[in-house]
Structure 1
Amino acid sequence: MPIVVTGATGQLGRLTVEALLRRGTPAADIIATGRDIARIKDLADRGVTVRRADFADADGLAKVFAGADRLLLISASVPVAERVANHRRVIDAAVSAGVSLVAYTSTTHADTATTVIGATHGETEEYLRGRGIPNVLLRNSWYLENYTSQLPQILQNGAIVGAAGDGRISAASRADYAEAAAVVLTTEGHTGAVYELGGDESFTLPELAAAISAATGEEVGYADLPVTDFARALAAAGLPAELAEVLADADRGMNRGEMYTDSGDLHRLIGRPPMTPAEALAVALHQGLG
């Protein structure tokens, strides 16, 4: 049962390949794809089939997916304006290649989300359904790593800066989302499912700031800004203007509860509690990120 993982050169894709291998999928049955395949040469050395895939290359994608039974479409990290067109090309190529199941990494509440990112996921989901190919929607909430990777800056500033207000966030680790994807790709009974995936322990950004204070012994607060001011702050910190606006808009969605879920789907899929925020902070601090 050959399985394609798109975006295997990225963090979530790489973790999904590793999860598939741990679950006993033969390396030869995994097709890891990405644009810069030099980054996954070690996977090829371990027997994984590695193929270069460019979402902009409609003609080449069907050849890349040839022989695959299932495909994980990890949402593209390209400019927002290009995402849906790229996703459509991948879906079309999967149909042409005769893939029997497409799993797509979407976002929580993609059908009602008001954010720019949410809209691209919603359009992709609609297109996937319209093509008639059997599918599974993996609606991932935020990554815990989006915060733990910023610990040095948070501690230096003495604050988390955002625009999420008191919105609750059901963040989970990339590894747990990858494990869920691997389960869906290697077991039966998921066709047509819509999984709202997130951690068991949600939090607000003020609560996260308090947790960081408790874990480090340093006083950390939460500075809540208007969305436009937060976008300007992100741009001033060096992010490209478009990305800064997208991330600030994501915080606006969090304030509306668009990154919150109490479905328990992630816990059920992986068969254990997902990593908690406290555990993620402990790991990050152990690794010297704080």
Structure 2
Amino acid sequence: MEELLKANWDSRGSESMTVRQNGERMDAAPENKQGGQGENHDVKKDHDEKKDQELKKEQDQEQLIREAGQMTLDENAKNYKIHLLSIIGEIEGHECLPANTKTTKYEHVLPQLAAIEDSQEIEGLLVLINTVGGDVESGLAIAEMIASLSKPSVSLVLGGSHSIGVPLAVATEYSFIVPTGTMIIHPVRMTGMVIGVPQTYDYFKKIQDRIVGFIASHCNTTEDRLEQLMMETGILTKDVGTILVGSQSVDEGIINEVGGIKEAMAKLYAMIEERRAN
């Protein structure tokens, strides 16, 4: 009986055995390494899935910023989850403004505010404001939603918070304005056709009373003082009203404090900590 044992190496470096006995050929199975390869494959798969999830989260975040000027701040050392809402440009009403106008749309903001109130993860709201004002009904709707939140909220006026932007600035539990920030307080005005009858002016007065009442109930000034600022004739050229710069809005009791993003974030952290403690 003739036996021939031959050892050779395959391309993977594993050894295979060829045995010939009585003219028959038998190939021994190579060493099984599937166990280790399977484990490596699972680790790589988990890593890829995690990477895909992080990429999708970043893409969703970027889309939310582009469409609504909103994002979630959750990279802080305290692990607080804070929602950032930016109110910019013109507050859009029930009609779409021109495409080249930067706007804040109430149909984007109101559902998000409802989601913030309903969320068990989001612990606070930071509102950044740089607006020229806009539609009264839409602005008051957003302001009322912010004011009725149970979560801690802080606003920061950057650039300007004019007209209906004033109620938005004071709607939060605490407010800041940068030193160069401005606030313009003026009477209600309307575009388009106006019927020149006493009832029209009564309607204007009712709208103005709603705005003044909201502002006075959410800051440290009075309705009488706000109306005085609205009717001032010696400050704005060819217009009626008052412009307040930085600390002037604090002196009038409208804004709580002069500060920037550092102070606003620190205040919001403190409010969240206090809420957790209670």
Tell me the TM-score normalised to structure 1 length.
0.29
Higher relative CO (Cα under 8 Å, sequence separation at least 6) belongs to 1
- The structure with the largest helix share of the pair is 1
Structure with higher Rg: it is: 2
- The structure with the largest strand share of the pair is 2
